[in-house]
């Protein structure tokens, strides 16, 4: 109990410091104050840590494995833009001012200039001018960005990995039903998804949905686990990805809905007639809130986890004393263990809730026909 | 062991069902207040009258739907208990 309280207290303290830092940086922007060199060094470090965390949770147009002596070690990725025709170039293409595209230099492609600002591509002029509005967002036209970004690359790799892994597993079962190799680890998980997620929630119609549930479970699980590794991969913490996953669940629920499901939505039993009309739009809205909750849950959990771990590591370099040097690595380790649990739990919860919503849609209420 | 496992997944299932009710409630309240505000701006009423009227009726409606949903969930649970 005491341990839990202590961890909670430290986490709260960390959040407080994180917010305090944020305000300080804002103040610094607002009012130019004369500072001692020592303070500005610390402020600089705080800003650096904040930028590092902000950068980490975003998708990127290149893969940076590490930074050594100011140089990023990694590899570029292709940039694909649709702006009145397709434009292709690599993200390390040298721009007009001699720097690379990923470092903010405008790049010419088919007579037009493009520049990168906070991982978003804008059409600009040959000097790369961006006019910022009051919220610091550029007013220039954003283009349709179809690039193979870091997240897209990782999704492709995970997809190929899953096909190879499960394809191999399926072949091995043709020879013998005794699991071999990776199947030894994965068979219990597959059985778990079937017996603990699909059957209790969906019932006897579970077989049709097993393909989706297994895919989504392992996809989220592998991406969550990859996110914990030191390559800066944060795919499930990207709202676009969780949005697409939730959309698939929504489509499956909508298209496999039974008569009873639709009756509950359009003509709810057990309420007076005038209320049935009012309930109709609310119930239709209800079908949307369920996948919305799925989307937010996975996104928020993964993003929060990444931010907390990164902030804790960053705090070592901000405080720079022996207490911080001992406390923060320890705290990071504790939170990291929690994140390992969250990685598995969120994959489970997403699959479980998808199965639950599908189950609610395909369910036929026998008891209602009786009375 | 088997019972414990079932209990855990049962409670998670309940959590899923009830949390979707909560999200629906939040959505209705949010949309009615936001919609009221937008209509206030659109009709240029110059006051918050539509926010209050639409928002508060949305609030009542959300309470009504929540109660109805909970009734249904409760009934389902009782039916399940009877089957067991």
Q: What is the pLDDT of residues A33-52, one digit of tens each?
A: 444 555 577 788 888 888 88
**Chain A touched by B2 (CB under 8 Å):** no
More confident residue, A12 or A189: A189
Query: Is B27 touching A (CB cutoff 8 A)?
Result: yes
* pLDDT recorded at residue A166: 92
**Among A306-310, A326-330, A358-362, B6-10, which is the least confidently predicted range?**
B6-10
Residue from B7, B8, B12, B28 whose CB has the most chain A CBs within 10 Å, to mutate: B12
Which one is predicted more confidently, B8 or A371? B8
CB distance A330 to A315 below 8 Å? no
A203: nearest Cα among A358, A54, A59: A358
Residue A16 has pLDDT above 60, yes or no: no
The average confidence (pLDDT) of chain A is: 82
Among residues of chain A, what percentage have pLDDT more than 90? 32
Instruction: Note the pLDDT tens digit of each residue in A93-114.
Output: 887 877 788 887 888 888 888 8
- pLDDT the model gives residue A179: 81
The residue among B4, B63, B65, B81 with the most chain A CBs within 10 A of its CB, best to mutate, is: B65
Helix axes A37-57, A2-30, angle to 10 degrees: 110
Contact predicate B59/A313, CB 8 Å: no
Q: Are A270 and B72 in contact (CB < 8 Å)?
A: yes
What are A133-147's pLDDT values in tens digits? 887 788 887 888 899
A201 has a chain B CB within 8 A of its CB: yes
* H/E element, A145: strand A144-145
**Residues on chain A touching B12 (C-beta within 8 angstroms):** 349, 352
Bridge partners (DSSP) of residue A82 are: A86, A144
Model confidence at A28, pLDDT cuts 50, 70, 90, reads very low
């Amino acid at each position: 109990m005491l341990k839990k309280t202590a961890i909670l207290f430290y986490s709260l303290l960390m959040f407080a410091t994180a917010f305090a830092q944020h305000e300080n940086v804002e103040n610094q922007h607002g009012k130019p104050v004369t500072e001692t060199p020592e303070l500005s060094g610390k402020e600089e470090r705080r800003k650096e840590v904040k930028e590092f965390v902000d950068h980490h949770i975003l998708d990127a147009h290149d893969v940076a494995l590490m930074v050594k002596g100011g140089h990023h070690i990694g590899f570029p990725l292709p940039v694909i833009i649709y702006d009145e025709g397709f434009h292709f170039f690599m993200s390390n293409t040298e721009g007009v001012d001699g720097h690379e595209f990923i470092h903010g230099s405008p790049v010419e492609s088919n007579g037009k200039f493009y520049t990168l600002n906070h991982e978003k591509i804008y059409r600009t002029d040959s000097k790369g001018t961006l006019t910022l509005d009051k919220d610091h967002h550029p007013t220039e036209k954003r283009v349709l960005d179809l690039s193979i970004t870091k997240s897209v690359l990782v999704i492709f790799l995970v997809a190929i990995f899953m096909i190879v892994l499960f394809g191999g597993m399926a072949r091995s079962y043709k020879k013998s039903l005794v699991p071999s190799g990776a199947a030894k680890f994965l068979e219990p998980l597959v059985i778990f998804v079937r017996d603990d997620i699909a059957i209790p929630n969906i019932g006897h119609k579970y077989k049709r949905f097993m393909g989706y549930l297994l895919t989504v479970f392992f996809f989220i699980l592998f991406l969550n686990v990859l996110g914990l590794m030191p390559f800066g991969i944060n795919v499930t913490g990207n709202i676009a990805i969780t949005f697409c996953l939730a959309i698939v669940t929504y489509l499956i629920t909508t298209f496999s809905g039974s008569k009873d499901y639709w009756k509950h939505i359009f003509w709810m039993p057990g309420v007076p007639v005038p209320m049935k009309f009012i309930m109709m739009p609310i119930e239709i809205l209800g079908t949307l809130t369920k996948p919305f909750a799925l989307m937010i849950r996975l996104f928020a959990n993964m993003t929060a986890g990444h931010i907390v771990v990164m902030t804790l590591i960053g705090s070592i370099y901000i405080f720079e004393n022996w207490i911080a040097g001992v406390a923060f690595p320890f705290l990071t380790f504790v939170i990291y263990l929690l994140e390992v649990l969250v990685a598995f739990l969120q994959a489970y919860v997403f699959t479980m809730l998808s199965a639950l919503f599908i189950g609610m849609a395909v369910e036929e209420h026998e008891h209602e026909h009786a009375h | 062991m088997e019972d414990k496992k079932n209990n855990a997944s049962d409670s998670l299932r309940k959590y899923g069902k009830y949390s979707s009710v909560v999200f629906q409630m939040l959505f209705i309240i949010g949309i009615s207040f936001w919609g009221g505000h937008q209509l206030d701006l659109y009709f240029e009423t110059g006051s918050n009258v539509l926010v209050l009227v639409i928002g508060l009726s949305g609030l009542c409606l959300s309470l009504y739907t929540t109660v109805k949903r909970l009734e249904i969930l409760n009934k389902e649970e009782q039916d399940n208990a009877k089957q067991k």
